[in-house]
Structure 1
Amino acid sequence: MKIQYTNNQSLKKLNLIPYFETEESIVFNEIKLSKSVFSGKKDSLHLLEMDENLFLFVGLGKEPDYKIIKTTFRRLSAKQILHFKEEAKLFLSADFSNENVEAIISGLWLGTYQLGHYKKDKKQHPLENDDFDFEINSALEVKNTVIKGLKIAKAQLETYHLVDLPPNKITPKHLADWAMQTGKNYGIEVTVIGAEQAYILGLNAFVSVGKGSANESQFIIMDYHPTNAKKHIGLVGKGITFDTGGLNIKTAGMVHMKCDMAGGAAVLGSMLLIADLQLPYRVTAIVPACENSVDANSFLPSDVIGSYSGHSIEIIDTDAEGRLILADGLAYLIKNYNPETVIDIATLTGSSVATFGYECGALFSKNDKLLKQLQKSGDITGERLWPLPLWDVYKSDIESEIADVKNYSGKPVAGAISAAKFLEFFTENHVSWAHLDIAGVSFVDDEFAKTKHASAFGVHLITNFIENL
């Protein structure tokens, strides 16, 4: 694909012309549209053919946010694909901000994604073709904004692939190889610790979860360390590449459990984007990657296992495994790297889905400034978060009589909160730590596929948060 930038009014084939509803009249070159025909209302389209040119007027509504604009253009790219042939031209008036343009470009390229990875007759989207001409006519200088929008889309598309591809493809080793290759491409130092070395290092909670799988667990560390970095941020993402539930085997919904590494994928995608944008911050990320499977070596309910922090853990439920690998990831990150701020992200509990449905992720932090910054980034990017409490009254839910802590309360209530309290136990009371439970927003039903699929929730959110520290 070739991108050109012009400010002339020459027309070519498909012409994309977005409008806000607030504009008094729709006039483009010699075309005049009455309000009754096209007003710029949100989700409206008007297609006009004239002199071998297609004019596609795109309505954005009165005050569209980033997510609305991004979704509108993703929909356009995905569902108007027949109009994208060999060339297209995007017209942007002076009314469009840099954020608007970024959302438009990102949305257009996200619309190229198709789920049929293994279909024999899968066809490439025209925008992906090297010889496709995409021209941008703008009243303002937008080149850097367009480049940024493309980089955001690239990182999210990579994340889509990691989450949507099947578990016999996306194994812990595959995630480790992906991290290694990305590190080489973007100047990120990558270390991968296998199961044997992890055991020697004392990552016992992490090792326990992967014991029942034929696929070796991989403890992935990515360290992006630019010169003169302003601050040091730590990320931990849950990388359960498939979750059977272990011996507490799942009785429903197991077919979707390839998505249980969506938190880890969000961290990997964030690292790609952070390095691609060359943000002036040191970011150290850990993705403990395991498969929670079942065989004679699987860890058992009522086992007491160790952890990297030195604390013992009573296993109440082997399906509460994500918090175990996160516990070791958090403890390892804080002890060995000591970042100023720590954020973990995970598809952790059905309880968060029961609370918020599929509209936002659950946010936990005792640091008000961090909490508000994350919420603000979520609102900006359309990856919204809402806080739940970390009150100490919930500590009793994870108290064990035989060990230092237990991994599951056994109660049908406050599951997301007790899981967050479990993680907090392994943060050594870090003053700037936040936990994001994205179980309801990482693998979604929406207009872009007939089955559940990845949303890449967290990639843009985390990057925007770091970018605006």
Structure 2
Amino acid sequence: MKTKNINDLKDFSGTVLVPVFETSAKNLIPIQFGTVSISSKVFYGKKDSYYLAEDNDNIYLFIGLGKKDIDYKSLKTIFRRVAANQKEAFTKCVGVSFPTEFKEQEVEAAISGLLLGTYSLGHYKKEVDHPFLDPEFELKILATVDFSITINKAIKIARAQLETLSLVDLPPNKVTPGYLAKWAKDRGNRYGFKVNVLDREACEVEQLGAFLAVGKGSNNEPQFIIMNYEPNKPTENLKHIGLVGKGITFDTGGINIKTAGMLDMKSDMAGGAAVFGAMQLIADLQLPVKVTAIVPCAENSVSSKSFLPSDVIKSYSGNSIEIIDTDAEGRLILADGLSYLIKNFDPEYIVDIATLTGSSIGTFGHECGALFTDNEIIADALRKTGDSIGERLWPLPLWEAYTEDIESAIADVKNYSGKPVAGAISAAKFLQFFTNKHTAWAHLDIAGVAYGNDEFSKSKHASGYGVHLLTKFIENL
């Protein structure tokens, strides 16, 4: 999507989007835009209401925004809904007139929403592309303030989120560990970050034992993907952030095979996809930070080579792990990812993100992700960042009392407590064991918010959660 600022509609011919804040159905003053006048009896800006009008060969689509205190996520969703559901009202030329109340945040949400509205789950269907995706399409911006920088940023945010949606929604016979490695290399070349991929043989040399154990049962070779970003013009004392994302491209549960919900397990790499999208966006925005990101990618399959319950494996950190449940595999690959990141790159801050436990869904439903950290500054920053863009987080404890849930009689640690309670917490305690007591580490369990039902598809699909959250958190450090 390209954009162009215009001062008026004198030479404009096409469709104009006119967002309107709510007034009142009893308001005697009509809503006025140019020569178009609308009585409040038929339209007064109520949230999610629309009104179509025609004047001087232009189509005007009035969009109800509701009250002026509308939040970022709601605004973004409204504009996504317009782009997704009102395509028949779009001509070859489309303009948008922002209310004078719109500031940078509102403009960013609106433009990102419009571009996200072009997404379709029908990757393998013969569909006509959304008009906004035409290479020649240009959105005309009618505003009294020059929002060019904000609009450019909004487009980059949406493009990164669109990439993440596709990565999660495409089928597992397409999105294999090898596919993700190729994707990372391609985007690294395109946007400007370095990518190093360790294949199975290289991982054996590095002794990434926990990671390799998970991928043993699959014919698709595991790929340990390492990405490094620095701005084109680095300054002294760049802050160094480390990211780790769970990249399980499909999760059968292994020998402890899943008895329900396996259809959705192509989404078990949504944490890794969020890291991929964040790396694209960070590099695209040229943020003045240094970022090292690791996404261990593997397929947890069932075969004669699969690792077994009661196996004892050796992790990259040198610690032994007793396998209680092969369906608690995500924490195994994250353990090696965290250990490798800390030992070889030593970032100041670390955030890992994963669709890790059903327990987090049992606690929060689909409203927010679970946040684990002992660092209150990071906890506060992540939570406020999430609140500001509608990717919410809420903290759960890492109390010492939960350590016994991962204690093993035969090994240094076990990968599952075996208890039907506090599953998200014991998983976080397991990961904490492999952080080498890093003082600025946070774990995000996003199982309930990364994938699910919404109005934009007839079946479950990706939400793109985490891309903007991670990027904005890093941007504000």
Tell me if TM exceeds 0.5: yes
Picking from 84, 97, 102, the partner of 2:103 is 97
| Contact 2:15/2:58 (<8 A) preserved | yes
Q: How does 1:348-367 map to 2 (within 5 A)?
A: 348-367=356-375
Deviation at 1:2? 4.1
| Contact 1:12/1:89 (<8 A) preserved | no
Cα deviation digits, residues 134-179 of structure 1 (max 9, x gap): 2111110111111111000000000011000000000000100111
Picking from 423, 429, 433, the partner of 1:415 is 423
Cα deviation digits, residues 286-338 of structure 1 (max 9, x gap): 00000000111100000000001110000000000000000000000011111
State the distance in 2 between where 1:219 and 1:84 align. Answer: 44
| Contact 1:86/1:131 (<8 A) preserved | no
Q: How does 1:277-292 map to 2 (within 5 A)?
A: 277-292=285-300
CA gap of 1:64–1:244, structure 2 versus 1, over 3 A, is same
Cα deviation digits, residues 250-275 of structure 1 (max 9, x gap): 01111110000000000000000000
Picking from 144, 149, 167, the partner of 2:149 is 144
| Contact 1:84/1:127 (<8 A) preserved | no
State the distance in 2 between where 1:182 and 1:3 align. Answer: 23
Picking from 380, 400, 425, the partner of 1:372 is 380
Deviation at 1:94? 2.3
The answer to whether residue 112 in structure 2 is matched with residue 111 in structure 1 is no
Picking from 334, 339, 347, the partner of 1:326 is 334
1:15 counterpart residue number: 16
- Classify the secondary structure of the residue corresponding to 1:390: coil
State the distance in 1 between where 2:114 and 2:458 align. Answer: 20
| Contact 2:192/2:283 (<8 A) preserved | yes
2:72 counterpart residue number: 66
State the distance in 1 between where 2:452 and 2:38 align. Answer: 37
Unpaired runs of at least 5, structure 2: none
1:342 counterpart residue number: 350
1:238 counterpart residue number: 246
| Contact 1:262/1:442 (<8 A) preserved | yes
Worse-matched range after superposition: 434-443 or 87-96 = 87-96
Deviation at 1:22? 5.5
- Classify the secondary structure of the residue corresponding to 2:196: strand
Letter of the structure 2 residue corresponding to residue 448 of structure 1? F
State the distance in 2 between where 1:303 and 1:162 align. Answer: 32
Cα deviation digits, residues 213-238 of structure 1 (max 9, x gap): 00000000000022116300000000
1:173 counterpart residue number: 178
1:38 counterpart residue number: 43
Worse-matched range after superposition: 424-433 or 182-191 = 182-191
State the distance in 2 between where 1:236 and 1:113 align. Answer: 26
- Classify the secondary structure of the residue corresponding to 1:54: strand
| Contact 1:93/1:139 (<8 A) preserved | no
State the distance in 2 between where 1:463 and 1:36 align. Answer: 44
2:225 counterpart residue number: 220
Could you state the TM-score of these two structures normalised by the residue count of structure 1?
Answer: 0.98
| Contact 2:15/2:95 (<8 A) preserved | yes
The answer to whether residue 124 in structure 2 is matched with residue 123 in structure 1 is no
Cα deviation digits, residues 66-110 of structure 1 (max 9, x gap): 101100000000000111231111011321101101111100000
The answer to whether residue 272 in structure 2 is matched with residue 264 in structure 1 is yes
| Contact 1:190/1:220 (<8 A) preserved | yes
The answer to whether residue 410 in structure 2 is matched with residue 402 in structure 1 is yes
Deviation at 1:7? 1.2
1:4 counterpart residue number: 4
1:274 counterpart residue number: 282
The 4+ residue runs of structure 1 with deviation greater than 6 A are: none
State the distance in 2 between where 1:322 and 1:67 align. Answer: 29
CA gap of 1:230–1:35, structure 2 versus 1, over 3 A, is farther
Q: How many residues align?
A: 468
Letter of the structure 2 residue corresponding to residue 402 of structure 1? I
- Classify the secondary structure of the residue corresponding to 2:75: helix
Deviation at 1:401? 0.2
| Contact 1:241/1:261 (<8 A) preserved | yes
Q: Quick one: percent identity of the two aligned structures?
A: 62
State the distance in 2 between where 1:85 and 1:312 align. Answer: 62
- Classify the secondary structure of the residue corresponding to 1:60: strand
1:456 counterpart residue number: 464
- Classify the secondary structure of the residue corresponding to 1:169: coil
State the distance in 1 between where 2:204 and 2:258 align. Answer: 27
- Classify the secondary structure of the residue corresponding to 1:19: strand
State the distance in 2 between where 1:8 and 1:122 align. Answer: 34
Letter of the structure 2 residue corresponding to residue 59 of structure 1? G
- Classify the secondary structure of the residue corresponding to 2:66: coil
| Contact 1:212/1:298 (<8 A) preserved | yes
State the distance in 1 between where 2:400 and 2:41 align. Answer: 59
| Contact 2:36/2:55 (<8 A) preserved | no
| Contact 1:240/1:261 (<8 A) preserved | yes
Could you state the TM-score of these two structures normalised by the residue count of structure 2?
Answer: 0.96
Picking from 70, 76, 88, the partner of 2:82 is 76
- Classify the secondary structure of the residue corresponding to 1:273: helix
State the distance in 1 between where 2:391 and 2:465 align. Answer: 6
State the distance in 2 between where 1:258 and 1:182 align. Answer: 21
State the distance in 2 between where 1:347 and 1:92 align. Answer: 37
Deviation at 1:36? 2.6
1:426 counterpart residue number: 434
State the distance in 2 between where 1:429 and 1:134 align. Answer: 50
Unpaired runs of at least 5, structure 1: none
Picking from 359, 378, 393, the partner of 1:385 is 393
- Classify the secondary structure of the residue corresponding to 1:179: helix
Letter of the structure 1 residue corresponding to residue 60 of structure 2? F
- Classify the secondary structure of the residue corresponding to 1:359: coil
- Tell me the C-alpha RMSD between the 2 structures: 1.2
State the distance in 1 between where 2:364 and 2:23 align. Answer: 33
